């Protein structure tokens, strides 16, 4: 059955549909041996051969999504020119090519989804879904009520106002404060930039939940396969 090339790449687990479009524009995708650099091409996967970076692309035999407790020091890309460890090296699912859904900074730990279901990834990342991300952030010093209210109201970052964050204090000592922070935006290094803006830089950051799906007691560096019920939790608001 004919389908758009970017949809086929997403369904085959190469990346989300949006990222697949970037790969096409970069000339990394070939159809029947010829590079494709324009959007909208329709293909018949049963009759045409598609390759990505020279490797054949086949439809997945089964869809799989996992929740990984990402360690600090791992990058959330499929490869790294600097030779740093990549999160996919922690996944052992022979015959399946899983890719990260979104990203976590190098130094940030915690909940990261990986999947070979491009349509699901697109659904999770689409801004209209507004899926909550819950973090535990340990910041320098002791932010006062007014500083935190700025983040709760939304602040200007790089020319755009952030959506209001939900914040509650978990614990504090003389040197630092640990807070639960809930946002639904996915801007790069957003939590770190928010606290830097109120002069309380982040010392440690861990994502503990997507929507109603929590990391729980999953050990660092380990992952678990997600059931259909788990996937439904992704789209629930979580901490109300």
Indicate which residues carry an active-site annotation: 105
**Residue 190: is it exposed, middle or buried by C-beta count within 10 angstroms (0-12/13-18/19+)?**
buried
Distance from chain centroid for Cα 70: 11
Q: Give the separation between CA 70 and CA 220, rounded to whole angstroms.
A: 6
Q: Is the dihedral of CA 96, 36, 120, 221 positive or negative?
A: positive
Cβ atoms of 114 and 91 closer than 8 Å? yes
Half-sphere CA count of 163, side-chain side, radius 13 A: 13
* The dihedral formed by the CA atoms of 18, 22, 23 and 25, expressed in degrees to the nearest 10: 130
Q: Give the separation between CA 142 and CA 148, rounded to whole angstroms.
A: 10
Distance from chain centroid for Cα 194: 19
Angle 8-10-15 from CA coordinates, rounded to 5°: 140
Q: Give the separation between CA 231 and CA 208, rounded to whole angstroms.
A: 16
């Amino acid at each position: 059955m004919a389908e758009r090339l970017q949809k086929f790449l997403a369904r085959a687990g190469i990346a989300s549909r949006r990222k697949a479009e970037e790969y096409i524009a970069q000339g990394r995708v070939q159809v029947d041996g010829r590079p494709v650099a324009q959007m909208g091409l329709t293909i018949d996967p049963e009759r045409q051969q598609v390759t990505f970076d020279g490797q054949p692309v086949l439809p997945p035999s089964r869809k799989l999504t996992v929740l990984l407790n990402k360690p600090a020091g791992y990058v959330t890309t499929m490869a790294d020119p600097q030779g740093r460890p990549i999160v996919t090296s922690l996944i052992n699912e022979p015959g399946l090519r899983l890719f990260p859904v979104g990203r976590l900074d190098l130094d940030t730990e915690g909940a990261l989804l990986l999947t070979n279901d491009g349509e699901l990834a697109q659904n999770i990342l689409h801004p209209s879904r507004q899926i909550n991300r819950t973090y535990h952030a340990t910041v320098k010093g002791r932010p006062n009520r007014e500083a935190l209210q700025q983040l709760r109201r939304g602040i200007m970052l790089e020319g755009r106002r952030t959506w209001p964050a939900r914040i509650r204090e978990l614990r504090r000592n003389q040197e630092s404060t640990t807070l639960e922070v809930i946002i639904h935006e996915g801007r790069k290094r957003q939590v770190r930039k928010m606290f830097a803006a109120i002069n309380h830089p982040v010392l440690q950051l861990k994502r503990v939940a997507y929507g109603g799906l929590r990391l729980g007691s999953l050990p660092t560096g380990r992952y678990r396969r997600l059931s259909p019920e788990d996937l439904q939790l992704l789209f629930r608001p979580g901490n109300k």
